Structure 1
């Protein structure tokens, strides 16, 4: 014999309301997280830069380096051949071990930023440990003759509001990214190329790596850079992205 179950209408209504409320709460939380790294800090809320001006054709190639010395030369050669400028985020520890390679990046007119001193997530350290790491990184670059390094990418890209505040107290700007090539996963040249070309648009900051773990970054760049230029996108440094955004803000203010 079949049994007929009757659900009271009142319960259905409340269930529907709860589901809708949960959906909208999750949606607004998502938006908040997405917007938390859009711009630099103002007086109310600290933030990091993960994209430039979306109305400007400039984009920034960025590379993280924390270990090894075998991949950098081929990446620099590719950038030179393609007449492309980039920003390299480097750990203080790596810089001390490879001062000649650090100089080769600078001599090729690429920009240098910090990746902390040790490549250890700042979310796994307390504020005093983060401060010590940042100070040690700054001192490492200063001793090597790079006194004006002011860009910081936290190790692993891990940061929160406290990390941003600590960095700003040290006179640093926190830089994230908007397009992740996932080259460190070594998925192959075609996969890296497809991901970057599918996702890149005006104002984006692209993440690559130049440590020894990557195997396909150079070959991917050989395909990616010409196609980005074909789209009339200008490859520039993080500092130039910041400068362009500042100019736009000044123009909007004056108007």
Structure 2
């Protein structure tokens, strides 16, 4: 016996819409998972990439001695009381006077490792050694740093997060990259940060490679003030329980 199914134009149109909607939804979820693939897994410690209150200005420093101090001075002059500096241990040992200046200004210090290694490309033991070496450098400088660590290049995997967690550190990423290290021009740096909103962790650099950061900062600070966004530190985000995390694969 043969069966024939007849669909009128209206039902066929509805079925087509349902199929297309399902496809688009599935694709959207795929893109979301792909975009944040570095952050996704079902268990294990997580990396902090965003908070819920305030905006955190964070600065990576790994080399040079000409750009960091002007940035610190600028922050102080603009009455910025909260900022977080991630320092490589080797740089800190070479520039204890600048480290002291950061401390005296009241800003938080986190670790950027010691030798600026690619943590997703080295063995576990070398990751641990690099973190411990950076920690020892801070101890020698008598710096009471926060238990925060950032992958030097921003590239990392679950091994780094787990090792950091075992050593008592929270891994900090970012939600907005100013891309100041590319020296794209002051206007572009400001534009890259212009969409900042409550909870964002913004990445800047205070190494000598970032030649335009200090020039862009006053405009960025005013921009954030005009948006009524208060400045905070990553550690305060954690203390307040307001930090968002993503799991790492």
Where on the TM-score scale, by shorter chain, does this alignment land: which range?
A: 0.7 to 0.9
| Equivalent position to 1:113, from 110, 115, 123 | 110
Q: Post-superposition shift, 1:72?
A: 1.0
Partner SS, residue 156 of structure 1? coil
Q: 1:246 to 1:62 in 2, by over 3 A?
A: closer
Superposition RMSD in Å: 2.5
CA distance in 1: counterparts of 2:131 and 2:141, whole angstroms? 16
Matched, 1:165 2:167: no
What residue in structure 2 maps to residue 14 of structure 1?
A: none
Match of 1:50 in 2: 49
| Residues 192-223 of structure 1: CA deviation (Å, up to 9, x unaligned) | 011101x3111000000000011110110010
How far apart are the structure 2 equivalents of 1:222 and 1:25? Answer: 41
Match of 1:231 among 219, 227, 234: 227
Q: Is 1:122 matched with 2:119?
A: yes
- 1:24 matched residue in structure 2: 26
Q: 8 Å contact 2:50–2:243 — kept in the other structure?
A: no
Structure 2 length-normalised TM: 0.82
In 1, are the aligned partners of 2:56 and 2:231 still within 8 Å (CA)?
yes
Specify the SS of the correspondent of 2:110.
Answer: strand
Q: Which residue in 2 is equivalent to 1:188?
A: 185
Structure-2 change in CA distance of 1:52 and 1:168 (3 Å)? same
Partner in structure 2 of residue 142 of structure 1: 139
Q: Which runs of 5+ in 2 are unaligned?
A: 1-18, 245-249
Question: In the alignment, is the contact (CA less than 8 A) between 1:51 and 1:178 conserved in 2?
Answer: yes
Contact 1:48–1:174 (8 Å) recurs in 2: yes
Kindly report structure 1 stretches of 4+ aligned residues shifted beyond 4 Å: 20-23, 35-38
Matched positions, count: 223
Decide whether aligned partners of structure 1 residues 163 and 21 sit closer, same or farther in structure 2, where only a CA change above 3 A counts. farther
Give the Å deviation of 1:36. Answer: 6.1
Structure 2 CA distance for partners of 1:36 and 1:46, relative to 1, 3 Å: farther
State how far apart, in whole Å, the 2-side matches of 1:95 and 1:35 are.
33
Q: CA deviation at 1:93?
A: 0.3
Q: 1:78, CA displacement in angstroms?
A: 1.1
Indicate if the aligned counterparts of 2:68 and 2:206 stay in contact, CA closer than 8 A. yes
Q: CA deviation at 1:34?
A: 2.6
Equivalent position of 1:215 in the other structure: 211
Q: Judging by fraction of residues, say which structure has more helix.
A: 1
Instruction: Name the structure, 1 or 2, with higher relative contact order (CA <8 Å, separation 6+).
Output: 2
Aligned position for 1:6: none
